[in-house]
Structure 1
């Protein structure tokens, strides 16, 4: 990692440059003053997805899910815990495929839950099926080596 990274604020969507040495200090957004990392996944929509994908320098792990999906409901608290363990080096996010079907289609999501790991604005890995917290952390860590 370089001396600083760009992080998109999950609250106001502004891009913040954060010194990498300060990432673990719970940095706040320069514009809205909210914390850049809240210890949980953020919800992305068509309006916010591209900004987080293209403007943040840290990897993005997206859980494509739906409210009617049983395995998605089982995995949700696991994904929440994984965010606490992986932040601030990785941003975890969720996309509700019922509300944002075009995002699921854009990334050819055929089953849910599906985790997609993006780095540098490009997909680098994907994993379908419900996973436990340690499995999520291991999978993400292995993909980023």
Structure 2
């Protein structure tokens, strides 16, 4: 979520991007001078966004915020991108090769609990067929809001 959020914030000046993670240590790292992962040019992109917020005639909220506060982030959002890891199952049926959707399930449940207004939910995680239906079911349970959903599949190719 962090790298994608940084690129969106750097290229879309009218968009407020909030990256939420339950791991406070990771969020602290995103809010520091060096991001928690190395991606060429990423630190410079984030620094440029932060610099713009401070050099305006008056301080403006940065277009890119890293937070652990899912409630406020969901309530302020019009579009939510699910950029959540989908590790391989380590036990049970499908162990060693099937996707573990637990992280997605827990995140979508938290989003549904926090939602107070209609929104669009877009998945960007690598998931198996049927995951969109699972997400739709989870979201529709605790809230009577209109939630539009779509999934932008990720295409990764191995090559030379």
Give TM class, smaller chain.
Answer: under 0.3
More strand by share: 1
Task: Identify the structure with bigger relative contact order (alpha carbons < 8 Å, sequence gap 6+).
Answer: 1
TM-score normalised by structure 2 residue count: 0.25
TM-score normalised by structure 1 residue count: 0.27
